[in-house]
Chain A
C-alpha cells in the first residue's frame, strides 16, 4: 500500500505549483486555474487522511470544497468577463486601481 506520506507529498507539491502559478501568472484565467489546483491539492490531503484514519469527515469536506470551488469558478469567470468587457485585457497587472 502506498504510504500516507506519498499522498501528502503529492498534495504539497500540487499546492506549491498552484501557489507559484497564482504568484507568477499574468493571465487571470491561468490564475483561476492555479487556484483550482490549490483547492484540489487540499482535497487530495483530505481524502488521504480520511482513508488512513477510516473516517468520512474528510470526504465530506471534499464534497463541500468542490461545491465552493464550483461557485468560486462561476463567480470568478463572471468577474473575468466583466473585467474583459471593461478593459479589453486579461492581464492582472493592468488592473491595479486599488492602490492609492
Chain B
C-alpha cells in the first residue's frame, strides 16, 4: 500500500513523459490529478485503516512497515528499500497528498495554454513521488534519495520558464544552495553510520536514547558525537528549509509557476527540514548545544525575513519571505525541543500558505502576470471568492484567535517560552523574537491584503478586466480556506481543557521537552502567553489595516527592500573570489599554461623531431649509401666492442 502510494505518481510522471505529447491538455491534467488522487486515497486508507488500528510496538509507537528488499549491504551496514508509516510520516503523508492534490487541480486551470503543460505535470507528479519517498523512508539513505529527488524536481519546476534568464538562474541558485546543505547531511549520515552503526531511524532513535546528554558548550561541537551529527543535519536543514545562512534561494525560486511555489516552496518540500529535525528528535534532545544553535538560527531567520517581507512589492516575494520566516519559527520551536509544535505548524502552514500562494496565483492569473502589489488594489470586488478565501489564509497566518495558525504558532511560542532544554534567558529572548515576528507577520500580511484587494484600483487593475478564476482554481481555494480555519482542532491547547491530538498522537515517537524532562507548563502561563500573542496578532492586523489603508504606497526602509544585501554579500565574499580563483588560477594559470602547455608542448616537440628527421631523407643515393655504411659500422662496432 505504501509502495503503491509512491508508485502511483511516479507512474503518472513516467506516463506523461513518454506519452504526454499525444494526450492533449485535458487528458494530461486529468491523468496527473488521477495519479495524485490515487496516492491521496491510499494515504488516507493507510492512515485510517491501517495505522490507527495498529497495535503499538514495544516502544509504544504504532507503525505500518513495508520492506521491498535490501538495497545494499556492506559489512555491518544494511540499507533497505523499507517504508514505514508511523504517526510522524502519517501526518506528513496526509497533507502532502491532500494539499498536493488540491494544487494539482488548481494547476490544471492555472497552467492552461502553457506550452510546457505536459512537462510541468510530469515534474509535479515526480515531485509528489519523491516527497512521499522522503517521508515514508524508514532509513536515512532512502530518505536522502527522496531528499535529492525533491531537490531535482524543485530545480526542474523553478526553471519551468527556462527561456527566461531569471528563472534559469533561480533554478541553478536553488540547486547549488541545496547542494551546500546536502554536503552537511551526507556527512551527518556517514557519522551516524560510524557511531550508531545503522541508518535505520528506529535504530538511530534507540541508539540516541542510550547516549548520555552531552554538555552545553563549544567543546561538544567538534567532538564527533551527537552534537556534531545534529549540527551537520542542521546544515542540511538550512539548505532545504531555507534558513540562515542558505535562505536566499527560496525567494528567487518564485520565478517558477505559482502552483509550484505553493506546493514545493511553501507547503511541502521546504518543510522537509523540519520533518528531519522532528524525525531525529532523539539525537537533538541529547545534544543541547545543537539545540541552541538550531533555535538561534531559526529565531534569527524568522525575524530577519519577516522584516524583509515588509519591504517587498512582489506579491509572491512577500509570501516567499513569509514562508522563510514561518519556517524559521518552526526551526526555532524544534530548537526549543518543541518538535510536535513544529510539525503542527508545518501542517497548518501547509494549509494556509498553499491557500495564500494559490490565491496569489489566482490574482496574478486575473491580472495577466502582474505581480507588483503597488499596481494592484481594489481587486476584492472583481474576485470575491479569491478575496474571501485569501482572507481566511491571511487571518490564519497572522494568528487571528481561534484560527489554525493561532493555535500552532501559539503552541510553538509557549513551548519556546517554557523550554526545558534551552538556557532560560535564551528561551525568553527567543520567545520575544517569536512575538516580534508574529507582529511583523500580521503587519506585512495585512499590507499584502490591503494593497491587493482593498482601496482604489491602481494601474494593473484598471488596464485589464480582472475576473474571477474558473472553478478548478477556486474550488481548491475554498477547501484550503476551510482547512485553514478549522485546522487548529488538530492541536487544541490543554488550557482549553482539550487534549491536544497532535501531541498525543506523535508521542512517544516525537517527544516534547516536557515529556523528556518530565515536567509540564502550568495552564495559567499558557493562557497568559496565549493572550499576549493574540493581542500582538490583533495589534498587527488592526495597525496594518489602519496604516496601509491610508498609505498604501508606503516605502519600507531601504535595508528591508534590499534584503539586507545578503545576496550582494555572498556574491562579494564567496562567488567573486571563487570566480577569480577559477578564472585566474585554475583556468588561466593551471589550465592554459600547465595543462595546455604540456599537451601542446608534446605535440610541438614531436613535430620538431619529425622536421629534423625529414632532413635525412635527401633523395640523393649517396646520402643513403653513407647512412647504410655508417649504420653497418655501428653494428659492426657493437659486435666488436661489446663484452662477451
Contacts and interface: CB of A to CB of B under 8 A. Distances in A.
Contacts of B626: 23
A99 to B, nearest CB: 3
A5 to B, nearest CB: 17
Contact of B622 (A92, A97, A99, A100): A92
Interface string A78-100: 00000000000000110111111
Interface in A1-51: 19, 22-23
Nearest to B620: A96
B621 interface: yes
B464 interface: no
A100 B625 CA distance: 18
Contact of B619 (A19, A22, A23, A99): A99
Interface of B: 614, 617-622, 624-626, 629
Contacts of B618: 96, 99
Contacts of B614: 100
Instruction: Give the top 3 A-B pairs by smallest Cβ distance, nearest first.
Output: A99-B619, A96-B619, A98-B619
B625 A23 contact: yes
Interface of A: 19, 22-23, 92-93, 95-100
B137 to A, nearest CB: 70
Given A22-B622, A23-B622, A92-B622, A99 B629 contact: no
Contact of B620 (A22, A92, A100): A92
A72 B620 CA distance: 20
Contact of B617 (A22, A92, A95, A100): A100
A19 B625 CA distance: 9
20 contacts: A19-B629, A23-B622, A23-B626, A23-B629, A92-B620, A92-B621, A93-B620, A93-B622, A95-B621, A96-B620, A96-B621, A98-B617, A98-B619, A98-B624, A99-B617, A99-B619, A99-B620, A100-B614, A100-B617, A100-B619
Give the dominant DSSP class at B's interface. helix
Contacts of B617: 98-100
Contacts of A22: 622, 625
A95 B619 CA distance: 8
B522 to A, nearest CB: 103
Contacts of B620: 92-93, 96, 99
Given A98-B624, A99-B617, 11 more contacts: A22-B625, A23-B622, A23-B625, A92-B620, A93-B620, A93-B622, A97-B619, A98-B619, A99-B619, A100-B614, A100-B617
Contacts of B622: 22-23, 92-93
Nearest to A97: B619
A99 B614 CA distance: 9
Contacts of A100: 614, 617, 619
B632 to A, nearest CB: 10
B618 to A, nearest CB: 5
A100 B621 CA distance: 14
Contacts of A95: 621
A100 B613 CA distance: 12
Contacts of A92: 620-622
A92 B623 CA distance: 11
Nearest to B618: A99
Nearest to A22: B625
A34 B618 CA distance: 22
A99 B624 CA distance: 11
Nearest to B616: A99
Contacts of B619: 96-100
Contacts of A97: 619
A75 to B, nearest CB: 15
Contacts of B625: 22-23
A97 B621 CA distance: 10
Contacts of A19: 629
B533 to A, nearest CB: 93
Query: Which of B617, B622, B624: most chain A Cβ within 10 A?
Result: B622
